[in-house]
Structure 1
Amino acid sequence: MERLEWAALMPLLGAHQSIAGGLHLAFERINRVGGESLQIFTANQRQWRAKALSDEEIRLFRVAWQEHGAMPVASHASYLINLATDEPEKAEKSIVAFTEELIRCRQLGINLVVIHPGSHGGRGIEAGLECVTRSLDQVLLRSGVLDSELKILLETTAGQGTSLGSRFEELGFLLANSRFPQHLGVCVDTCHIFAAGYDIRLPEPYAQTMAALTAQIDLAQIHLFHLNDSHKECGSRVDRHAHIGEGRIGLKGFSLLLNDHRFHHLPMILETHKGEDLAEDVENLNRLRGLTR
């Protein structure tokens, strides 16, 4: 089935892939598993600073992207970044790191950049959200992307510790209070919202969860889903990804999402564990495709 025909029937299913050996090789990996969308790290997510991309790295990436059908591609920012901190040194370090991420993404042509809102560190949700808002505005100004189509996607979180983003209202606050809302959107992670207490396993709670989501966030602001089952129960506030159908959400919950016509045009990306042969990605994608009606 051709890509456009498939897209008309269901979301663009894909997976996060390694960039080992070169950014452009992520396209070979997603092609091997039959993915229709891709997520990558543009640099080592465990390091604060990355060397600048060479012209050749950028060229190879863009050529590979075109050769593999110009599929949707998202970047996931480093987990080290905390835009909610009020400690001057840590805040500046995070703003610089995220600014450099946006610059790399613009060079590569990536317009979707996922990031966790951050941790307030015990200062309280309101103070943390205000800090994230200021930091996001700074990043957008410094990175020079305001004349582009790039969007920062604030990811829903499980609510571990003092992390922000586990309640839809918190993401709604960030979208509403940014100076540049046209450059912000949301990435919904199924494991995270489930762990945060939003049940999606059966039709009624699924409808309630989506009503709560769209009460705070306009459908047009949702640009991406992460598809992960959950090892932990609903409301556990523990982020532990499981393979599709092997966790507490189960196949029914994913069937409800995949057959929700409101999201048929969106990329939906796996973030589940895999070996070097990527067999788990193939299995998970097959399970997901088997759920569509």
Structure 2
Amino acid sequence: MAPKKTAAKKRKSEDDLEEKSKEDTEEDAEEGGSRMRKNHKNKKYIGAHVGIQGGIWKAIDSCTEMGGKCFALFPGSQRSWKRPPLDLKAGFDPVHIVPHGSYLMNCGSPKDDVFEKSQALLVDELSRCSILGLNLYNFHPGSSLGSISTEQCMDNIAGAINHAHRQTPAVVTVLENMSGQGSTLGGKFSELKGIIDKVRDQTRVGVCLDTCHAYAAGYDLALKGGVKAMLDEFDQEVGLEYLKAIHLNDSKGKLGCNLDRHEDIGKGHIGISAFRDIVNEPRLDNIPLILETPGR
């Protein structure tokens, strides 16, 4: 989840990560420079989830103010089914902007009224992204509410995506991995792949990996080599070609707790080393790295 935070605080977290990356590069230079040469070629895009109060274009100003190279935003209020008209303004490269879906949306819902509203909202938000010239749209897959099977829930989610794809052009629907809390889908990479397999146009579907969610679901990023191991498993289960963005969050909860509780980077159970590894991981070049928690 992405609470409203000040640009100054988020800038601090971003600066901390970039400083850690710089320190690693300097250490590598002392050890012979092999990693330094590799990092020199890396292209990392770090930013934050920013607010849209005063107009959706304010997101661009907020990201520019903090010196970010990418950002996430809500295309409209995440607490309302209704949306006001768009206020347009050109900005960043679309591949580095990752709109986030409403928390009201549950495309896996077994309740007909909620499913219909969620499907309609997905169409509306993809349409907004298309009008804005954006390429990506990130949302939480959904929940079975404990009353239908995982397979039926995946059918619902994929059905909503297929319907939205028919109604809108081009925009890629990006599924977010989840913490495994309750009856939500997406805590396991196999569940994300199960949804993708049911989407007709797989060129228009991808995944955003949230580090807190992954850790809470049992992927041990805190372990030495944990980031590499998670990406290896994701590649095997889903495919790195589907990875479109990363949400950078530490975790208040312990490994496998299934709780979606974000913490400031370096202050949770994941720890700063994992985020240093993310920033220095060549497989994450050119992928938006979005801070969702502030620095204090």
8 Å Cα contact 1:202-1:252 kept in structure 2: no
> Letter of the aligned partner of 1:157 in structure 2?
M
Query: How many angstroms apart in 2 are the aligned matches of 1:98 and 1:181?
Result: 17
Q: Deviations over 1:49-83 (max 9, x none)?
A: 21232xxx22xx22xx15xx777111001010001
> Are the aligned partners of 2:142 and 2:185 in contact in 1 as well (CA < 8 Å)?
yes
Query: TM-score scaled by structure 1?
Result: 0.83
Query: Which among 193, 205, 225 is matched to residue 172 of structure 1?
Result: 193
Which segment drifts farther, 224-233 or 28-37? 28-37
Is residue 124 from structure 1 mapped to residue 145 from structure 2 by the alignment?
A: no
1:244 maps onto 2:265 in alignment: yes
Counterpart Cα distance in 2 of 1:193 and 1:71? 23
Displacement after TM superposition at 1:126 (Å): 1.6
Q: Is the 8 A contact 1:7 1:264 kept in 2?
A: no
1:208/1:93 CA distance change after superposition, 3 Å: same
- Give the Cα separation in 1 of the matches to 2:209 and 2:119: 23
Task: Provide the secondary structure at the position in 1 that maps to 2:155.
Answer: helix
Look up the SS of the partner of 2:196 in the other structure.
Answer: helix
Bigger mean CA offset, 178-187 vs 211-220: 211-220
In the aligned structure 2, how far is the partner of 1:221 from the partner of 1:262?
A: 12
Distance 1:8 1:47, change over 3 A: farther
Identity across the alignment (%): 32
What SS is found at the alignment partner of 1:119? Answer: coil
SS of 2:67 mapped into structure 1: coil
Q: CA deviation at 1:198?
A: 0.4
TM-aligned CA deviation for residue 130 of structure 1: 1.5
Aligned-pair CA distance for 1:205:
3.5
Paired positions, count: 257
Taking structure 1 as reference, are residues 161 and 37 closer, same or farther at Cα in structure 2, changes over 3 Å only? same
Rounded Cα–Cα distance in structure 2 between residues aligned with 1:97 and 1:115? 11
Residue of structure 2 aligned with 1:52, choices 85, 90, 94: 85
One-letter code aligned to 1:23 = I
Runs of 4+ aligned structure 1 residues displaced above 6 Å come to: none
Q: Which residue of structure 2 lines up, in the alignment, with residue 138 of structure 1?
A: 163
Structure 1 position 82 matched with structure 2 position 82: no
Q: Which amino acid aligns with 1:186?
A: V
Distance (whole Å) between structure 1 residues aligned to residue 228 and residue 40 of structure 2? 24
Determine the structure 1 residue equivalent to 2:27. Answer: none
Choose the corresponding residue for 1:111, options 120, 125, 135: 135
CA distance in 1, matches of 2:55, 2:78: 15
Structure 2 unmatched runs, 5+:
1-38
Q: Tell me the secondary structure at the aligned position of residue 157 of structure 1.
A: coil
Please tell me whether residue 196 in structure 1 is matched to residue 212 in structure 2.
no
2-structure distance, mates of 1:112, 1:37? 12
**How far apart, CA to CA, are the structure 2 residues paired with 1:102 and 1:42?**
9
**RMSD (Å) for aligned C-alpha atoms:** 1.8
Partner SS for 2:200: coil
Q: 1:33 deviation in Å?
A: 1.3
SS of the residue corresponding to residue 163 of structure 1 reads coil
* 2:71–2:98 contact (8 Å) kept in structure 1: yes
Which stretch of the first structure deviates more once superposed, 44-53 or 235-244?
44-53
- Aligned residue in 2 for 1:42: 75
* Distance in 2 of aligned mates of 1:134 and 1:43: 23
Tell me the equivalent position of 1:290: none
Contact 2:95 2:135 in 1 (8 A): no
**How much has 1:162 moved relative to structure 2?**
0.4
Alpha-carbon distance between aligned partners in 1 of 2:43 and 2:275, rounded to the nearest angstrom = 12
- Which residue, 13, 32, 45 being the options, matches 2:65? 32
Are the aligned partners of 1:10 and 1:258 in contact in 2 as well (CA < 8 Å)?
no
TM-score for both structures, normalised by structure 2:
0.83
Q: Does structure 1 residue 227 correspond to structure 2 residue 248?
A: yes
1:20 corresponds to which letter in structure 2? Q
CA distance in 2, matches of 1:261, 1:219: 12
Of 165, 173, 181, 1:152 maps to 173
Question: Cα–Cα, structure 1 residues 7 and 229, in superposed 2: closer, same or farther, change >3 Å?
Answer: farther
Q: Do residues 92 (structure 1) and 113 (structure 2) align?
A: no
Quick one: which amino acid aligns to residue 39 of structure 1? A
Q: Distance in 2 between matches of 1:172 and 1:212?
A: 12
User: Which residue is 1:253 aligned to?
Assistant: 274
Matched residue SS, 2:247: strand
1:7–1:265 Cα contact (<8 Å) kept: no
Identify if the C-alpha distance between structure 1 residues 7 and 165 changes in structure 2 by more than 3 Å, giving closer, same or farther: farther
